[in-house]
Amino acid sequence: MSEEPIRIAVTGGAGQIAYSLLFRLASGEMLGPDQPISLHILEVPEALHALQGVKMELDDCAFPLLKEIVIGSDPYKIFQGVRYAILVGARPRGPGMERGDLLKENGKIFIGQGKALSEVADRDVKVLVVGNPCNTNALIAMSNAPHLSRKNFFAMTRLDENRAKAQLAQKSKFHVSEIRPMIIWGNHSSTQVPDYFNAKIEGNPVTSVIHDEEWLADTFITNVQKRGAAIIEARGKSSAASAASAAIDTMKSLINPTPAGELYSVALCSDGNPYDIAENLIYSFPCRTNEKGVPEIVKGIPLNNFLKEKMKASEAELIEERELAFKS
């Protein structure tokens, strides 16, 4: 651990996910209890006043590890020297907005942030995109960051993984920590593929513990895909604390070597993947982080026709998003 604070950037700092995420980062949850950090928080100019209030609260927590808080709306200043960037801020879908419009509006944000990261961030910066549509936003940022490795851009599907684990735990009456691995393939959208065929409960195939195949193929997958909408319906607001928690889980997985026999889901650049998914997409795969701290796609996961078909549908959606986003 270095004594120098490590710089972590968070965008969308005045939003609801950041209101949970920033405090957990500042308490040391991502980099551990011995590593000082500095928070570099980006917002749009209209939300800077609200962000000032969040900064005041961070100050008032008197976190021992938090050495500095920098706020602002210029990505070239905020991303200066950052080792980790969690890109949460995004434009929400407005009334009457088509998916293509949403992709274009977000495209502008992630073109600018990709360029800024490429110019001023640490050369090894790991970038996790949370703001939706997160896979394609990450692709846009990656495509606009010529000085950074394409391998360092990720989009978050860990909330889907965690949601899937919670569903299987409730159905099987095992604790959630016994549900592993749990792979999410594809896009963070309703075409995502929660893979119960390769999931295990206490080391046994899910299908040998939960015998209700109809529930698995239908209710389980739909519950995971539509969990976000169910939270909005119940809470009146979209998931925030669980999204922040999943962002921290993801960063920890991306940084620390993965324990033997484990894996995690994250969307990353599909170039050279072993699952016949088109290149130049940000697609969710099972991953492990090696001893050098480099995340890699896990090879050799068996795929049946059900999975292959659904994975192709998610790939098709990502190709369509890419076409809409990159259409000039």
Which residues are known to be catalytic? 188
At residue 286, φ and ψ (nearest 5 deg) are -70, 135
Residue from 58, 82, 121, 130 in contact with ligand NAX (CB under 6 A): 130
Q: Which is nearer to ligand NAX, 36 or 154 (CB)?
A: 154
β-strands 66-72, 37-42: how paired? parallel
Looking at the Cβ atoms of 41 and 297, the one nearer to ligand NAX is: 41
- State the nearest-atom distance from the C-beta of 250 to ligand NAX, in Å: 9
Per the document, the length of the chain is 328
Name which position in 8, 9, 10, 12 contacts ligand NAX (CB under 6 A).
Answer: 12
Positions in 17-36 near ligand NAX (CB under 6 A): 17-18
Alpha-helical regions (H) of the chain:
16-26, 48-61, 75-78, 99-120, 134-143, 158-172, 206-209, 213-214, 221-225, 227-235, 241-255, 305-326
Question: Smaller CB distance to ligand NAX: residue 115 or 210?
Answer: 115
Q: How far apart are CA 253 and CA 262, in angstroms?
A: 10
| CA–CA dist 138, 131 (Å, integer) | 9
If one asks whether residue 188 binds ligand NAX (CB under 6 A), the answer comes out as yes
Q: How far apart are CA 20 and CA 232, in angstroms?
A: 17
Q: Is 270 in the site for ligand NAX (CB under 6 A)?
A: no
Among 89, 107, 186, 194, binds ligand NAX (CB under 6 A): 89
Return all residues near 113 (Cβ < 8 A) that are at least 6 apart. Answer: 11, 42, 75, 79, 87, 141
Distance from CA of residue 15 to its chain's centroid? 16
The number of angstroms, rounded, from the C-alpha of 81 to the middle of its chain's C-alpha atoms is 21
Q: If binding is defined by CB under 6 A, does position 225 make contact with ligand NAX? A: no
Q: What minimum distance in Å lies between the beta carbon of 51 and ligand NAX? A: 8
Q: For ligand NAX, how many residues bind (rule: CB under 6 A)?
A: 29
Q: Which residue is nearest to ligand NAX (CB)?
A: 15
In the block, residue with structure tokens 């068996």: 302
Minimum CB separation from ligand NAX for residue 32, in Å? 24
Which window, 37-45, 63-71, 95-103, 192-200, contacts ligand NAX (CB under 6 A)? 37-45
Q: Is 159 in the site for ligand NAX (CB under 6 A)?
A: yes
Closest CA to 25 of 78, 85, 72: 85
Task: Give yes or no for residue 131 binding ligand NAX (CB under 6 A).
Answer: yes
Residue 114 is a binding residue for ligand NAX (CB under 6 A):
no
Q: Which is nearer to ligand NAX, 89 or 295 (CB)?
A: 89
Site string for ligand NAX, 94-113 (x = CB under 6 A): ---------------x----
Count of CB atoms situated within 10 Å of the CB of 143: 17
* From 9, 15, 102, 198, residue interacting with ligand NAX (rule: CB under 6 A): 15
What residues contact 124, with CB distance under 8 A and at least 6 apart? Answer: 83, 149, 152
Binding site for ligand NAX (CB under 6 A): 11-12, 14-18, 42-44, 47, 88-92, 109, 130-132, 134, 156, 159, 188, 228, 238-240, 243
